[in-house]
Structure 1
Amino acid sequence: MWSRLLSPGLFSRTGFCVRSLYTMQLKTTEFQSLFTDGLNGLAEVFEKHQHELRIAGGAVRDLLSGKRPEDVDFATTATPDEMKHMFQTAGIRMINKKGEEHGTITARLHDENFEVTTLRVDVQTDGRHAEVEFTTDWQKDAERRDLTINSMFLGLDGTLYDYFKGYEDLKNRKVRFVGSAEQRIQEDYLRILRYFRFYGRVAPEPDDHEPETLAAIRENGHGLAGIAGERIWMELKKMVVGNHGGHLLELIYKLGLAQYIGLPPDGDVDEMMRVWQNASEHSPKPMTILSGLLHSKEEVEKMDLRLKVSKEEKTLALFLVKYRRELQKNADEPDSLKPFTDFIIDSRELDTQSKVLELLKYQGEEKLLTALSAWSIPRFPVSGHDLRRMGVTNGKEIGATLQKLRDIWKKSHYQMDKDELLSYVK
C-alpha cells in the first residue's frame, strides 16, 4: 500500500516547514476508483500543457483514512486564464460558478464536474474574507490552509505531498492548526468551529485538546461575531451530531463563545448534555440537540435571527421547546404509544410524526421511539359526506359529530370501522 520516499525537513521560527516534504505512495482501491473517464480526460489536458494537477484538502484526508471521498477538489499550478484557454482548446465545457476570482474553474467532462483551483497565497485577510495571489509554490498554498490534516496534496500517480506532518497527525488522530493557531484563526474566525467539527471526526477522546489551541480559541472567539450566521450554522449543525457533539458544545460555553454564535449565553448545558446522551445513538437532527440549550420561544427566535436556520429547523425547535414537558408518556401505561399517536392524529399535519420522533429522542424514550418509527398513521374512516347521507346537514353539527366520532375511534385504538362509528350517530 505504501512506500516512503523522502524524510521531513526542518522547521523555521514561524513554525512553518522550510522546504520540508514527507511523501509516500498511495495505491488503494479507493484511490484507483477515482479514475473515471472524466478524471483521465482532465489529467491528459493538464499533462499536455505541462501544468501540475493534484488532489487537495479533505479528499486526501479521506483517502488516507481508507474512505472514498464524496467530493474531490483539485489544485494546480495553472492560472485561471491558462485553465480557460486549455479547456477551450480541448473543447471542454466550463460551468460558471462563484469562485473564479479566487482561482476556481469548474470543468465538465463525461457528465462529471471537476473543480480545479490555482495555488494561492493570502495577501490580506480580515477574519472573514481573503484577498489572494496566485502562486506555483505548493508549500505556500499548504501554509494558508487551516488544519494539518487538510493541508496535504495527492498526485495522480499516488504520491502524497505532506509539508506539515498532516499524515502523522491523522495516524495519531490529532487535530492541529497549520503553524500558528492564532494566525490561522485570525485569517478566518470560522476556523474555530471547523476545528471543533474536525475534532469530532478525528479525535478518539472528547477532551484531548492541546492547551495552546484552546487558549488561541478563547482569545479570538470574539471574532466569530463578525461571521455570517449561515456560515456558522453550516459548521455548527455538522458538529453537534458528530462524535463528541455534546462535549464540544459544552466546551464552546466554557470558552465563552456561545454569545458570538447565536446560542443563549445562559443556555441549559446540563439539559443539552442529557439530551445528547439520550439521542446521539439515534441519528438526531441538529436542532434536537440544540433545543436542550433553549429555555423559551423567545430564545428560539433570537437564535434564528442570528443563524438564519431553515423554516423546518425553526419549527422543530419551537415544537420541542413547547412539548418536551407537555407531551409525555402515560405513567400508568409506560409502554403505550397512545398519548403520542393521539397527538399526531389530532394535529392533522403531515410532518407531525417526524417531530414527535425527534421529541422521543430528546426524552430518551428508546422503546417508544422504535415503536413509533414502525407505526403508520391510520385513516379515519368517516367523512362529512357519510354524515350528509344520514341526514346531518348543518355545518357546525357535522364538525361536532366528526369530532365526537374521532374521539370514540381513538378510544378504540383506531380499530372501529365506518359502520361501527356511524352507529353512534342519531
Structure 2
Amino acid sequence: MTETLGQRPWMTAPPTAAVMDALEAAGGTDCARFVGGCVRNSLVGRPVDDIDIATVLTPEAVTRAVEAAGLRAVPTGVDHGTITAIAGGQPFEITTLRRDVSTDGRRAVVAFTSDWDEDARRRDFTLNALYARRDGSLVDPTGDGAADARAGRIVFVGDPEQRLREDYLRILRFFRFLAWYGKGAPDAAALAACARLKDRVTTLAAERISKELLKLLAADDPRQATGLMLEAGVLEMMLPEPINLERFKGLVEIETDLLFEADPLLRLAALLPDDQLTAMRLAESLRLSNAERDRLVAALAPLPKLKSWMSPREIRQAVYREGKAAFRDRAKLAWAAADRTAVTPQWRGMIALAEGWTVPEFPLSGEEVLAAGVPKGPMVGQVMREVEAWWIDHDFIDDKLSAIEKLKAVAQGMAY
C-alpha cells in the first residue's frame, strides 16, 4: 500500500495549485512532485516554510510553462536546473531531475534526467530524498527516507564519503540536520566520514560556511550536534580556539528553560573566547554583515565585568555606556558562564531592569559649554566628558540646573 501524507493545506493552496497546474499542462500528470523539506517536515509534523518541486521538464520547458500560465519565472539557478516561479507573491523553486557528471566538492556539473531514482541517488540524506505527488502519495526511492525521518536518523544516501566529496558543505549540513531533526546516537559511518574530511571545510566559500553554521545554531537545542562537531574536529575548522563549549551549553540551557528565543549569533559569541580582536577577525573570515560583526565584538568586550549582584545604579551605568542590546548580550553570556541554579533570579532581574529603563539623554549641549566660558576646541569635549561622568556617577540626576552648576565649576577650574 502506498503511503500518503494526505492533501496538506500547503499542497492545495491557490499559489501551489497554480504552479502545479502550469507544469502539468506542459508535461502531464506526475511530471512534477514536491520534494525535500516540505515533504520531510509534513511527515514529521514540522511547519512547512518553503515548497520545492522536482520535475522531468527541462528548465526551458519550465520557464515556458510558468510564463504561459501568467506567472513569473526567475532563472535563479539555470545551470543546475532551477527556476523559481512566483505565484501569489510566493516563491517556488522548481528543479529539473539531475545526475552529477563531475564535481570537485565545491561545484558540480550536472546533466538532466527523467529518472526519479537517479535524482534521489544524488541527494544528501535519505530523509531529504522524499517526494510527494500532488494527491499526497509519498514516494521514497531509497526505501529508508520515511523511516529515517520519523526516527530522527540523519543517514547519507549511499556511501557517506562519496556524498561528501560531491559537496563538502554536506559536512556542515550533516551536523545542522542532526541539530534540527536528529534523535539518539548519530549514524557512525556518517560521523566518521565527516571527521575524515573535516579539513575540506576550509575550501568552502565563507558565505556558505557562515550561513550553514548560523542555521545550525538556530536549532532549538544544538548542544549535542555542536559537541559532536567539536569531537570530530569540524568546529575548529571554522572557529578559533579555545572553543567555549560550556558557556555555549549554558546559554542554550537558559534560552530553553526560560523560553527565550533561540539567538544564533549570540550562541556563536558564546563559543568564542572573550577577545574582541578574535571576534573581529572571525566576522571578517566568515563574511558576516557589519551589524553582525559589531554585535559580536560588543558582546565579547572585556569590561565592565558583569556580576549577578550588581546594584540597580551600576546596571544603569553599564546600560548607558554599552547600550541595551550589548548589555543584554553580555549579561546572558555572563549568566551562561555562572552557576545558573543559584543566581537565575538576579540575572533575570538585571536584564528586565535594563530592558525597562528609559535611557536618558545628557542634558547639556556644546553651546551651553561655550556659554560657560570654555573656548572652542578640544577643551569643549573634555569639559563635557567630565560633567557627563559626574552626571552618570550621580545616577543620571534629573536636574539640569545642578548640571549647569557643575559645568560652571568645572569650567572655572580649567586652565585654558
TM-score, normalising length from structure 1? 0.82
How much does 1:44 deviate?
2.0
Residue aligning to 1:215? 192
1:193 aligns with 2:193: no
Residue aligning to 2:296? 317
How much does 1:275 deviate?
4.6
CA distance in 2: counterparts of 1:298 and 1:271, whole angstroms: 19
Contact 1:150 1:166 in 2 (8 A): yes
1:132 aligns with 2:110: yes
Contact 1:330 1:336 in 2 (8 A): no
Structure 1 pair 139–296 and aligned structure 2 pair: CA distance change class (3 A)? same
Structure 1 pair 212–195 and aligned structure 2 pair: CA distance change class (3 A)? same
How much does 1:273 deviate?
3.9
Q: What letter is aligned with 1:394? A: P
Contact 1:200 1:242 in 2 (8 A): yes
Structure 1 pair 266–135 and aligned structure 2 pair: CA distance change class (3 A)? same
Residue aligning to 1:66? 45
CA distance in 2: counterparts of 1:273 and 1:38, whole angstroms: 42
1:361 aligns with 2:336: no
CA distance in 1: counterparts of 2:70 and 2:150, whole angstroms: 42
Structure 1 pair 421–251 and aligned structure 2 pair: CA distance change class (3 A)? same
Residue aligning to 1:422? 404
Residue aligning to 1:24? 4
Post-superposition CA distance 1:315-341 (Å, at most 9, x none): 233333332xx222467xx15243343
Q: 2:300 is paired with a residue of what secondary structure?
A: helix
CA distance in 2: counterparts of 1:45 and 1:327, whole angstroms: 61
How much does 1:197 deviate?
1.0
CA distance in 2: counterparts of 1:243 and 1:425, whole angstroms: 52
How much does 1:57 deviate?
0.7
- Out of 210-219 and 394-403, give the one that drifted further: 394-403
1:150 aligns with 2:121: no
Post-superposition CA distance 1:339-380 (Å, at most 9, x none): 343234245xxxx32122111111113331232222332222
CA distance in 2: counterparts of 1:160 and 1:308, whole angstroms: 40
CA distance in 1: counterparts of 2:261 and 2:71, whole angstroms: 42
CA distance in 2: counterparts of 1:251 and 1:74, whole angstroms: 33
Q: What letter is aligned with 1:36? A: A
Q: 1:339 is paired with a residue of what secondary structure?
A: helix
CA distance in 1: counterparts of 2:83 and 2:145, whole angstroms: 27
Structure 1 pair 67–245 and aligned structure 2 pair: CA distance change class (3 A)? closer
1:117 aligns with 2:90: no
Residue aligning to 1:394? 375
CA distance in 2: counterparts of 1:341 and 1:34, whole angstroms: 52
Q: What letter is aligned with 1:141? A: D
How much does 1:265 deviate?
4.6
Q: What do you get for the CA RMSD once the two structures are aligned?
A: 2.7
Q: 2:136 is paired with a residue of what secondary structure?
A: coil
How much does 1:237 deviate?
1.4
Contact 2:241 2:273 in 1 (8 A): no
Which of 294, 313, 318 is equivalent to 1:343? Answer: 318
Residue aligning to 1:15? none
How much does 1:156 deviate?
1.6
Which of 144, 147, 158 is equivalent to 1:179? Answer: 158
The structure whose residues are more often helix, as a share, is: 2
Structure 1 pair 358–266 and aligned structure 2 pair: CA distance change class (3 A)? closer
Unaligned runs of 5+ in 2: 336-346, 409-416
CA distance in 1: counterparts of 2:403 and 2:87, whole angstroms: 63
Aligned length: 390
CA distance in 2: counterparts of 1:204 and 1:297, whole angstroms: 36
Structure 1 pair 48–283 and aligned structure 2 pair: CA distance change class (3 A)? closer
Identity of aligned residues (%): 27
Structure 1 pair 255–78 and aligned structure 2 pair: CA distance change class (3 A)? same
